[in-house]
Chains A and B, each alone.
Chain A
């Protein structure tokens, strides 16, 4: 019997509790345990992806019960891709975190790793499951762990930011749960495929419409789509960097995956785009999200906070792209899940390296960084180019699909917003580069000698290694984006 689909989720979960015991016996053991768990998870995710590419959708019955009665894992190309993405980013971040967690949360690092594993378990579980209620439980697991870990950051502001996130997050999850209840009322089932089957017979029902709206709003709140984004910047800015690096690229992307999954598998394109005809309104919202995210990012003085607004902006890309209602837009949105996760991760890795040395990340603190941390800055520049959308990097290709999709759908405002936000982020990042390039105005200015020696203070080698690896992967993903689209995304959308 082939148990890889279950192992993806079970390995980190099992090791989380082993680490939880190790905390009390020998705290140093927690880290290697966590690494092992995530390594097994990556391995299984890789196996599953290979299997799905060669032989199609995998179904795995948990507890051995047939689908509508029991819970089922249903892994198709989209799941498998996101699973591999989530597990590898989580693993790489854990490698990079060893030093930074030691620096930030040294007295309870073991518990932090336990929590981290539970968080990753939640994300993987959300991605892999084929059951609507199981999805809710796992969303709550991810949220609960993020509430706790965000609050470990900045002593003054993090608990407040986190409590704010709790309130908004609970509303989001409860809306989703209500939506599931409304669907259950009309269909009597919780399995996604089964619900989709029954729904095709009762499309005109007002209950189904309500369920759809509730679930979408719930997921939008969780992903911080524009009017509901208020919790995200503070929560991510004040969280400890070891956690910010993984939550920023993954949480929002996984929620976008959930949205696409609900749209494609549960409700179906015909229902959303032909029966409801809501797509124009949502694409407009996406347009506003992109523009406002970019403008707000421009007005920030703290690097970390600036990047969080860029996340808000990128969410607009993906939601808008998915709701364009054509294949090109959806391809762009799915490709952008992959690319955006990688580039946000690269950006935050670079920021993590800076934070390791600098303590404060206001833009004015960054002066002279090109001299002080050349490798970190190289990674940062590469990631920034990808966000802007400079050709060899992967950011360009997904944006290209999105713009083509927008033209095909006649949503010129969306295409315009994409281009404007690219320009705005170019302005933004070149502003940062300019600050980093020039030396600080040191007090002994004019003595000449102090200028000639630049002390290189790089981050630890483990952090640099991961940062370099991920930055290079941006180019690799860019070069292979044609392959990714042809082997994974297009067969999935067929």
Chain B
């Protein structure tokens, strides 16, 4: 039975055209782009070509503003720690939100233990930050605002453009973690008004282990890695050229096919939302109806726990993700779902369904049938469902 991938948020397959380009690059035995001999120059040309392609994807006019990294996590660490270290003489106050990815949370936590002060903004019950809260939190000491573009658990998209206007006005550096957005939805760094933006190649079907950080010219940011002068002195270490070439191709395809891909995932999302009530009852949709990734749905299934559902779907060769406590290796209910105001039981019963170019309408039918079976079986076992029945 074909494996249905409804877990694109965790990993994406590398598209065949991208694989081909990467295999060709491996066979060419590229040299170090910093070398001045012929093969080095050939490698440098490939690097420039990839950088141009990636810059175009986020409408960055000056391609030197793109720094290639080892992925989203490095980009985020670079942005946050780099800004904090470079601007410590101006102040030590950082503003973020309650729903960030661990790469942001833990980078900021590290800075907190080094004496930085942090304001973490709450979201409303639809997972959105109110830009006014950011404005209110900015003080003379504020050097950085870091708010994610889209949330990896609920898919909710934040009002980045509005926040960008505020930070520009107050002359505070603004970073956005756009790892789950770039290549999926149109991103325009000029329109968003951000100073730094983190993204990753695998989000748009490129290889994992390579990503990018947009750094607006003139922003004060220290490198995370010190060493050679690669990446215009912003990121030391010989480039992962094969990965970067793959990312360049992925960016080109993402830009070219963006409308087609968006229409496809929107259709799948609408089909799931429309048909879900025919299959199950008593669930909560955590994804914002308007401001959200078209490729992701977060569903909290009442009275049951997410990992059990995930395992049952896996038995039917359907891959989904769960943000329930157990699946993350700790007992912790997702901090994102808790900040939406979900109760613990509902947060534990949450599935994240994320789809992509390889999914079909038939996949949705198979998923909904399997989901119904899993939910029925698990509710039969659940003492919470039992109580709910006996109490009325």
**Chain A bound to chain B:** no
Binding site for B on A (CB under 8 A): none
Identify the B interface with A (CB < 8 A): none
